[in-house]
Amino acid sequence: MRKPIIAGNWKLNKTPHEAIGLINELKRELVDVEGVDMVVCPPFTALADAADALTESNIALGAQNIFWEDAGAFTGEVSGPMLKDLGVAYVIIGHSERRQFFHETNETVNKRLRAALKHGLTPIVCVGENLAQREANKTFDIIKDHAEGSLSGLSAEDMKKVVLAYEPVWAIGTGKTATPAQAQEVHAFIRQLLIKIFNASVAESVRIQYGGSVTPENIAALIGQPDIDGALVGGASLKAPSFAAIVKAAQKLEIS
Ligand code: PGA
């Protein structure tokens, strides 16, 4: 049984003060939760305060990106040792917004992924097709390309430390969720790919989150699918009640 993992991707939202406020609310709402990995991913500027606010809580801290070099003349970048030193445990890599707006490619995703693993951070690697690609029946080709390219050269042992997120770009921030069946179909395809690229034991153990307009209303049906192991939540992670409700729905499933 794979442990569910619910991560909040705050994107470009929340000042440090706002982050502390949201985390304090989340801590109150989620103090009794067990059996679900919970992660919040504030912007870089709020990570230090978020780490303080999360001290001794059951919620882990994640970043939204990582650069592949540890230090040097790379203006504007943030490295693994810097994140690690703050108490960051997870890092989102290759989000579609990074691929779309910041020229992220499978190659740069792969470099960031290796840097995260090198520094003991758990990577959350995102893959997903856009609307045009889905309509052209290219979904599986795109997923295969993203997975093979992003995960290239990883050992089976390293792959077991990675979390994947399937995020259909057309469902992100649009209110248009993939149906549980649509999501399950792609998740099952990803698991088959993991068997081919790595082996059956990797495929069995890697957690695959779904992301794209996840809400307290639709989470139960999504996470009820056999290959959906959690969610990467954007909009609904910015308010404590909705994020907590999503986590609790995942927990209910875990207990039942
Ligand atoms: P959304 O974002 O939940 O607002 O659609 C999800 C994501 O981009 O990770």
| Ligand 1 near 230 CB (within 6 A) | no
| Ligand 1 near 169 CB (within 6 A) | no
Q: Directed axis angle between helix 16-30 and helix 240-255, to 10°?
A: 30
Element (H, E) at 209: strand 208-211
Structural domains of the chain, ranges and CATH numbers in brackets = 5-255 (3.20.20.70)
Q: What is the pTM for the complete model shown?
A: 0.97
Residue 81 confidence (pLDDT)? 98
Residue 256 confidence (pLDDT)? 55
Distance CA 44, CA 139 (A): 32
Residue 253 confidence (pLDDT)? 74
| Ligand 1 near 214 CB (within 6 A) | yes
Residue 255 confidence (pLDDT)? 58
Q: Is 95 in the active site?
A: yes
Give me the catalytic one of 129, 167, 204, 254: 167
| Ligand 1 near 231 CB (within 6 A) | no
Q: Is 18 in the active site?
A: no
Residue 254 confidence (pLDDT)? 66
Distance CA 107, CA 236 (A): 30
Residue 18 confidence (pLDDT)? 98
Residue 160 confidence (pLDDT)? 98
Residue 157 confidence (pLDDT)? 98
Atom 1, ligand 1: which residue's CA is nearest? 234
For ligand 1, the distance from its centroid to the CA atom of residue 32, given in whole angstroms, is 26
Below-70 pLDDT ranges, the chain: 254-256
Q: Name which of 32, 23, 27, 7 is nearest 255 in CA terms.
A: 32
Shortest-distance atom of ligand 1 to CA 233:
3
SS3 annotation, 212-228: CCCCCCCHHHHHCCCCC
